[in-house]
Amino acid sequence: MEEKVSLMERVAELLRSKPGEAFTAKALAQWLTRAFPEECRKKFERSRNTRLTTEEGFWRQLAAEIPSRMKTCPHIKTIEERPLRFYYSERSDEEELALIEKDNQPSLGTTPTMEMPLSEADLYSLLAQYLAAEFDLYTKRIDEKRSSNRRGLSGNIWLYPDMVSLENLTRDWDRDLRDCVGEMTAPKARLWSFEVKKLLNRSNIREAYFQAVSNSSWAHYGYLVAGRIEGADTLKELRMLYGLHGIGVIQLNVEDIAESEVLIPARFRTEVDWSTANRLCEENTDFRQFIKLVRQFHQTGEVPETGWDGQPRRGD
């Protein structure tokens, strides 16, 4: 028992010595076996787990113990992605949020080597790539700066999503079938809406979620998207809010966009809220252009080739 505590304390010491750098449990366990081989050997010999027959099996066991042990260590925080990552920070949730939301400033990296500054605009581009590759979506950025602001400074607060998408339900259909469905006025597309945040933690989770509820609930699918999610309590809150409002959650992996994932699938809305869509059209030229693209698709049966910020590659 003493050895277990000692080894976990050494993990905490390592994290404290490298504030802001994030490590997986696997990396921390491998570091322990390299840095403290004698202590690890004694723990290995005393272990009653008969499956620990190799060094690899031993450090995997160490890795499994790290998450629960780190939860009790002051100022050690988690990045809720796969795999889970741990880092040390004495900043409050509010201070970390203020730091990471400053565009053109280096964000707290998800790995020790990640130093590239990521703005929210960077996330828009990554999200468009992910949506095109994973869901065959045609995506358009909605820039709130291209709005009329006729209702005053706060008149359109939380009205505009960051991105919207068209899902072509007929992409793989026979041409005659598409024409038939068009004549029957059956649904040929679904509309998606996204609110994007660089960081979600306990200090901004409810505000960010209700912002997504406000600006994305008009669509068939509404999502809150984050480049980073901190803390198990944040995920717990997201799941609770989803049960009430149905907005899904996407975690972007900024290092490997293909490894991004839908943490909480959005609840399908059978009908678009066209009254809200009309308000968006009236107030924002980007959204009006998006609706024109949707209309053109319904009229011709073909998704327009231009006008999108992200789209599936032809022939995929």
Q: pLDDT tens digits for 22-59? A: 888 888 888 888 887 877 777 767 665 555 556 666 66
Lowest mean pLDDT among 102-106, 162-166, 200-204, 250-254: 102-106
Which pLDDT belongs to residue 48? 58
Are residues 222 and 250 in contact, defined by beta-carbon separation less than 8 angstroms?
A: no
| Domain identity same for 35 and 170 | no
Q: Is the pLDDT of residue 87 over 50?
A: yes
| Domain identity same for 171 and 74 | no
Read off the pLDDT band of 112 (50, 70, 90): very low
Q: What is the CATH number of the domain that holds 27?
A: 1.10.10
| Domain identity same for 69 and 152 | no
| Domain identity same for 82 and 125 | no
Q: Which residue has the higher pLDDT, 287 or 157?
A: 287
Angle at the Cα of 301 from the Cα atoms of 192 and 291, rounded to 5 degrees: 40
Number of domains, the chain: 2
Residue span of the structural domain in which 195 resides: 120-300
Which pLDDT belongs to residue 273? 96
Would 243 be classed as within a structural domain? yes
Would 261 be classed as within a structural domain? yes
| Domain identity same for 279 and 211 | yes
Q: Is the pLDDT of residue 114 over 50?
A: no
Read off the pLDDT band of 76 (50, 70, 90): confident
| Domain identity same for 20 and 64 | yes
Q: pTM for the full model?
A: 0.72
Would 107 be classed as within a structural domain? no
Question: What strand order describes the sheet that includes 189-197?
Answer: 137-141, 163-168, 189-197, 221-226, 248-251, 261-264
Read off the pLDDT band of 215 (50, 70, 90): very high
| Domain identity same for 77 and 138 | no
| Domain identity same for 66 and 128 | no
Q: Which residue has the higher pLDDT, 101 or 207?
A: 207
Q: Is the pLDDT of residue 85 over 90?
A: no
Those residues whose C-beta lies under 8 Å from the C-beta of residue 69, and which sit 6 or more positions away, are 8, 11
User: pLDDT tens digits for 245-282?
Assistant: 999 999 998 888 988 999 999 999 999 999 999 999 99
User: pLDDT tens digits for 120-171?
Assistant: 888 999 999 999 999 999 999 999 888 776 665 555 778 999 999 999 988 8
Q: Is the pLDDT of residue 105 over 70?
A: no
Would 314 be classed as within a structural domain? no
Those residues whose C-beta lies under 8 Å from the C-beta of residue 214, and which sit 6 or more positions away, are 158, 159
Q: Is the pLDDT of residue 284 over 70?
A: yes
Q: Is the pLDDT of residue 191 over 90?
A: yes
Q: What is the mean pLDDT of the chain?
A: 81
Which pLDDT belongs to residue 101? 62
| Domain identity same for 192 and 44 | no
Would 60 be classed as within a structural domain? yes
Whole-number CA gyration radius for the chain: 24
Which pLDDT belongs to residue 71? 75
Would 309 be classed as within a structural domain? no
- The residues pairing with 224 across neighbouring beta strands, listed in sequence order, are 195, 249
Which pLDDT belongs to residue 185? 60
| Domain identity same for 144 and 68 | no
| Domain identity same for 68 and 145 | no
Would 96 be classed as within a structural domain? no
Would 108 be classed as within a structural domain? no
| Domain identity same for 63 and 142 | no
